[in-house]
Amino acid sequence: MQVIYLLPAFDFTPTMLFKLKATFLFLAIAFSANAQIFKTASGSLESIEGIERYNVIFEYAENLEVPKYESEHVFLELYGKKKDKKEVGSGEVFKNLWFSNREKLFEPKFIQEFNFFNLKEKQVTIAKNITDAKYTIVVRTSLIDPGNSNFFFKKDARLEVTIQVYRSDNPNEILYATEMVDVHSRGASKNDYDRIMSAYAELGRGLSKHLSRKT
């Protein structure tokens, strides 16, 4: 005797369909916001094909942008005062860490995550101050948005960066450069610097995957 299983029929109401569409749209926007896109601005990926080891240099724009603030200096002054209202002296600490954490936290995390990714038969690696590396990658940050995380509002940190590659003995000849890359952290941590560090981690993983797969 043949047994036939009947699946229940789902009759989606217009309200249910609207909610489903809204959910899919939200997920699509969230995914696109966190996905890094590396578009070529000059040079080509072919010109750096086969390179597996780079010296890395980090640069920060002199007029580094912080969204919603007139300048980086204004941001540090106003945000520092906001910190001081909660805890006296914490504003000055924040301002000092804003610069020192670049070398202490952000850059090491970027390097760590970059070097962690590898394909089955290939791994591209980077390190600072490699004097014998034939090629150099420059990671230049032009915008840092520290995001936010409190009881009412959570927002991931965001970076805008460009990537350049050149022969270490000829910095004036750019072999490959990207357009501006939009980078978001993953998860709005309560700590400002943890969020920024997370964004650099995402950038490290994303760039490593990009170079390993495309070159």
Render pLDDT for 58-80 as a digit per residue (tens, 0 to 9). Answer: 999 999 999 999 999 999 999 99
**For residues 111 and 102, is the Cβ–Cβ distance under 8 A?**
no
Please report which residue ranges of the chain form alpha helices under DSSP H: 14-34, 72-86, 90-101, 107-116, 192-214
Cα 21 to Cα 32, 81, 105, 110, 182, distances in angstroms: 16, 43, 40, 36, 26
Render pLDDT for 94-152 as a digit per residue (tens, 0 to 9). Answer: 999 999 999 999 999 999 999 999 988 889 999 999 999 999 999 999 999 999 877 67
Could you give the angle at the alpha carbon of 201 between the alpha carbons of 175 and 58, nearest 5°? 45
For residue 181, the surrounding DSSP H or E stretch is strand 181-184
Radius of gyration of the chain (CA): 22
Q: By percentage, how much of the chain surpasses pLDDT 90?
A: 74
Whole-number Å distance between alpha carbons of 28 and 18 = 15
Sign of the dihedral through C-alpha 71, 76, 77, 78: positive
CATH architecture of the region 39-214: 3-Layer(aba) Sandwich (3.40)
For the chain, what is the mean pLDDT? 87
Domain assignments of the chain as residue spans, ordered by start = 39-214
Question: What pLDDT, on the 0 to 100 scale, is given for residue 43?
Answer: 98
